[in-house]
Amino acid sequence: MMDVLPYLVAAWIFLVGCHGLATSRNLIHAVGCLAVCQAATYVLLLAVGYRDDATAPVLADITPGSRPVVDPVVQALALTDVVVGATVTALLLALVIQVAKRHHTLDPDELSELRG
């Protein structure tokens, strides 16, 4: 069970985020749920790259080849995703601010009509 548990945790976080997105009655809450979905990808990536008894893939302090290191490729993917995700979240929150100003509501169900 321990062999696949981290992957299942990632799947669970993703599904929880999706559920929140679909049932959300508040746009700020929805943006938060999207961030939860994204967090699932970090968990998955880091779980894929993990290696028992290995250290960080930074070879400044250890003799290269003396110890196994975890997978640097997935770490790099997670790293860039964090910063890019943060700015995209900022963009979405900016959209929410404008929606709140123009429509005076944060409930996505009340945003059905068009306004010029």
Partner 1 sequence: MSRRLRMWVLLLGLTGVAATLVTAALRLPAFGTATHPYGDRAVREALAHRTANAVAAVNFDQRAFDTLGEESILFAAVLGTVVLLRQARDERQVTPAPARVSAPVRRYALVLLPVTLVTGLYIVAHGQLTPGGGFQGGVVAATALHLLYIAVDYRALERIRPIGLFEVGDAAGEAAYLVTGAAALLAGSAYLANVLPHGTFNTLASGGTVPLLNAAIGMEVACAVVVLLARFLDQAVEIEEEGEEQ
Contact call for residue 28 and partner 1 (CB under 8 A): no
Q: Work out which of 26, 70, 108, 112 binds partner 1, going by CB under 8 A.
A: 70
- Whether residue 47 contacts residue 6, with contact meaning beta carbons closer than 8 Å, is answered with yes
Q: Is 112 in the site for partner 1 (CB under 8 A)?
A: no
Which among 87, 54, 50 has a CA at the least distance from the CA of 68?
A: 54
Our finding on whether 67 is near partner 1 (CB under 8 A) is no
- The minimum distance between CB 18 and partner 1, in angstroms, equals 6
Closest separation in Å from C-beta 49 to partner 1: 7
- Shortest distance, position 6 Cβ to partner 1, whole Å: 5
If the CB atoms of residues 22 and 114 are measured against partner 1, the closer one turns out to be 22
Task: Report CA-CA distances (Å) from 107 to 13, 33, 46, 81.
Answer: 24, 15, 35, 28
Q: Is 75 in the site for partner 1 (CB under 8 A)?
A: yes
Q: How far is CA 13 from CA 42, 51, 84, in A?
A: 10, 22, 20
| Residue at 112: amino acid letter | S
Whether 22 and 37 have beta carbons less than 8 Å apart is answered as no
Give me the residues that bind partner 1 (CB under 8 A), please. Answer: 2-8, 11, 14-15, 18-19, 22-23, 47-52, 56-60, 64, 68-76, 79-84, 87-88, 90-91, 93-95, 97-98, 101
